[in-house]
Amino acid sequence: MQLIKRGFVLVAGLTLGASLLNVRADEGMWLFSDPPKAKLKSSYQFEPTAEWMEHVQKSSVRFNSGGSGSFVSEDGLVMSNHHVGADALQKLSDDKHNFYRDGFAARTTAEERQCPDLELNVLMSIENVTERVNAAVKTGMTADQAFAARRAIMAEIEKESLAKTGLRSDVVTLFQGGQYHLYRLKKYTDVRLVFAPEFQSAFYGGDPDNFEYPRFDLDVCFFRVYENNKPVKLQHYLKWSDHGADQDELIFVSGHPGRTSRKFTMTELEYARDVQFPMLLSYLNRNEVMLNVYSGRSGENARRAKKNLFSVQNSRKARQGGFSGLLDPKLFAAKAEAEAKLRAVVDARPELAEAHGAWDEIADAQRLIREQAVAYRLLEAGLGFRCEAYDIAHTLYRAAHERPKPNGEKLREFRESARESLEFDLFSAKPIYDDFEQVQLASGLEYLVQQLGFNNGLVVKVLAGKSPSARAAELISGTKVANVEFRKSAYAMSPAAMDAISDPLIQLVKIVDVEARRVRKIVEAQDERKQQAHAKIARARFAIEGASGYPDATFTLRLAFGRVRGYEEGGKAIPHQTVFGGLYERAVAQENRPPFDLPAAWQKRKRSVDLSTPFNFISDADIIGGNSGSPVINRAGEVVGIIFDGNIQSLVLDFAYTDEVARAVSVHSKGITEAIGKVYRAPWLVSELKTGHRR
C-alpha cells in the first residue's frame, strides 16, 4: 500500500504550465495518423519518416482476444506475451497435454498447432470520417434519435469499406466523440502456436511480484500466421536487435492500449470511484474465491481454471491499484483544478459558447447512467450469468433477432462488417467443461441474487424456484450450445423459431433479454448525450491548443515513446534492468518456494547461460492494459524488447500520466534469445529471430 500511495501522490504534481493542457515529458499514446514529430525532433533529434511509421504500423499486430504483438520474421512469426497467448494455450491443452503450464516448442511447421478461435488484426489504413458521422446527427434530435442516426451512419461506412476493400472496417470514436476514424484491418484467422515457455518462467514470482519491479519473467509466446495453409510471406516485420536496449536510450512502443480515462470530467471520475470500481472489485473478489475453491479440488480442475484465475487475479490487482488512485484526494484535486481552469477559459470566450454547458450535460447523463449501473452490469454485461455457455446462448438468441433488421439498426456487435469475426468465434471448437460451467454460472446467479434481491421479479423468473447451484446444474446439463453443429443450426433460425426453441439456456437468455435491452437503450442514449458534450469540449480544446494531441486509449494502434531508465524509491536507486543471475539469487533468497521456485530447465542449464545477460528492463513509455505484448523498438525499428507489465506505481496511468516512478516493464531481446537458445534448446527459433526467416 505504501508503494501505491507514493506513486499516486507524485501524480498530484501535474501542472498545467504555460499551456492549459500541457502534455508532460514523454506522455502520449499517439495516433499513427498524427505522430508527435515535432516533440520527438526537439527532445531527441529524431523525426520518424512516413516510411518508418508505415513499416512499424504494418509490423504491429492486435490480438482480438486482448493484447498486442508484432511480426518478427518474413515468414509470419508473431511475438506476444505468454499471458496474451494464454487463452490459446489453454484451449489447445487437455488432460494429457498442459501447454499453458508446461510450455510448447514446435521444431517444424508441421508440429505447429492451430489455435481454434484466435484472430489477429493488422492496421492497414486510417481515414478521418468525422464530418460524415456528425452530419448524420441533426439539430433537434432526441438522444435516442441521435444515437440511432450515429449507429446507422457508422454501420454504413463500415459496410461500404468492407465491400470495397475486403478488410475488417471499424469506425473508432476518438477524443470522446471529437473525431471518428475508419480503421481498416487485415484479418488473420489461421494462427498456429510455435513456442511458449512454461507458466512458471513466464510468470515467475506469481501474484506477489505482479505489478512489481525488479522482475525476472520470460513472458513471451510465439505464433505463426498462415494463409492458404502456408506461412504468410511478409514485407513488413521488425528486425531483431541482439544487443537490446541501453540505459537512457530512446525507445518506442507500438501497441494497442485498451482504455484510459484521462479526458474524463470530474462527474465521470466520481462515478468511477463511487460505483464502477467498487462493483467491479466486488465481482472480481468473489470470482477469485470461486476459482480458487474449484481449482483446489483436483489437478485437472486447476488446469481448466488456470487461465481464468490468472486473469481474475491480474484484473483484481490492477483495479485495486486504480481504485487507490481514485481515492487519493490530491489526484482528485489536481483533476478538479485542471477542469476548473479549462472551464474558465471556455466561459470567457464567446466563440466557444457551444461548450459552455457541456460539463453540466455530462453530469446529468452520468446521473441517469448511474441509476442503471447495477442492472446494466448484471444483465447486459452479463456479470450475473458469466460462463462460456451463457455467452454462446446469448449470442445465438440476439443474432436471430438482429439479423432481419437493416444493417444500420442492428446492435453494433451484429453489424454486417463484424459478422465474419463473430461467426469465427461462435463456431470455434473451443473446449467447454460442464462442471466448470456449472460452478461459474452458479456463482453468477448467486451474485445476481446478492445485487438485486431474492424477491426481485426477474430473479424469481431466472431461478425458477430453485437454488442458484441447482438452477445452474439444470441449465448446463440441459443445454446443447457446447455442440458446434447445434450452434450452426440455431444461428440460422428465425426470431420465431429461436423464441420457441426448447434449449433451457437459450430460454434463460429470452427471460433476461427484454430487461437487458431496456437498460442498454437507456445507457446508450445517455452515452450519446455525453459523446456530443465531449465533442464540444474537444472542439474547445482544439481551438485553445490546436488539434495536436492524443486521444484516450481505445484498443487501437498507438505509438508511445520514452527512455530506458530506472528510478529512486525510498532513497534507493532502482536499476533500469535485471540480469539472469538475479533470477537465481531471487530463488535462493526465497528458498525456492512457490511462486519463486525455479523451473527444472533453468536449474538444469544454469551453467549454460550467461548470468550477466539482461533479463527485464524498465522505461517511462506511456502504456496501459492492452499494451501487453507490444514490441519495444529502437530508432532503427529493431526489436529491443517486449512489454509485459507495469510497476505498481504505473496503475495510475489510466487517469493521469507521471514519469517520476511509473515504469513500463519489458523482457529484453537479448534475454529472450539467450533463454530460448540455451535454456529451452530451440536454436531454430533463435535463428529465425536473428535472420528474419525460417530455415
- How far apart, in whole angstroms, are the C-alpha atoms of residue 121 and residue 508? 34
Residue in the block written with cell 525510498: 570
> Percent of the chain beyond pLDDT 90?
94
CA 307 to chain centre: 15
- How far apart, in whole angstroms, are the C-alpha atoms of residue 177 and residue 161? 21
Question: pLDDT at position 19, please?
Answer: 40
Q: Answer yes or no: are the C-beta atoms of 394 and 426 closer than 8 Å.
A: no
- How far apart, in whole angstroms, are the C-alpha atoms of residue 567 and residue 574? 5
> Percent of the chain beyond pLDDT 70?
97
Residue 614 bridge partners (DSSP): 579
- How far apart, in whole angstroms, are the C-alpha atoms of residue 410 and residue 406? 7
Question: pLDDT at position 24, please?
Answer: 54
Question: pLDDT at position 2, please?
Answer: 29
Q: Is the pLDDT of residue 20 over 70?
A: no
Residue in the block written with cell 452530419: 135
- How far apart, in whole angstroms, are the C-alpha atoms of residue 448 and residue 385? 8
Question: pLDDT at position 53, please?
Answer: 98
Q: Is the pLDDT of residue 8 over 50?
A: no
380 pLDDT tier (thresholds 50, 70, 90):
very high
Question: pLDDT at position 517, please?
Answer: 98
Q: Is the pLDDT of residue 134 over 60?
A: yes
> pLDDT for 628-637, tens place per residue?
999 999 999 9
Residue in the block written with cell 496503475: 651
> pLDDT for 69-93, tens place per residue?
999 999 999 999 999 999 999 999 9
6 pLDDT tier (thresholds 50, 70, 90):
very low
The sign one gets for the Cα dihedral 595, 601, 603, 605 is negative
What are the grid coordinates assigned to 448, written together?
445476481
Q: Compute the average pLDDT of residues 614-625.
A: 97
Q: Answer yes or no: are the C-beta atoms of 444 and 378 closer than 8 Å.
A: no
Q: Is the pLDDT of residue 5 over 50?
A: no
Q: Answer yes or no: are the C-beta atoms of 362 and 264 closer than 8 Å.
A: no
Q: Annotate 448-492 with DSSP letters as a single string.
A: HHHHH-TT-HHHHHHHTTS-HHHHHHHHHHH--TTSHHHHHHHHT
Q: Is the pLDDT of residue 13 over 80?
A: no
Question: pLDDT at position 3, please?
Answer: 30
> pLDDT for 649-661, tens place per residue?
999 899 999 899 9
For the chain, what is the radius of gyration of the CA atoms? Answer: 25
> pLDDT for 251-271, tens place per residue?
999 999 999 999 999 999 999
Cα dist. 616→70, 219, 640 in Å?
19, 10, 11
Q: Is the pLDDT of residue 210 over 80?
A: yes
What are the grid coordinates assigned to 507, written together?
430460454
Residue 127 bridge partners (DSSP): 182
Question: pLDDT at position 545, please?
Answer: 85
β-pairing, 113-114 with 120-128?
unpaired
> pLDDT for 522-566, tens place per residue?
999 999 999 999 999 999 999 998 877 899 999 999 999 999 999
Q: Is the pLDDT of residue 14 over 60?
A: no
12 pLDDT tier (thresholds 50, 70, 90):
very low
1 pLDDT tier (thresholds 50, 70, 90):
very low
Question: pLDDT at position 9, please?
Answer: 29
> pLDDT for 300-341, tens place per residue?
999 999 999 999 999 999 999 999 989 989 989 999 999 999
Q: How many CB atoms lie within 10 A of CB 124?
A: 15
Mean model confidence pLDDT for the chain: 95
> pLDDT for 180-193, tens place per residue?
999 999 999 999 99
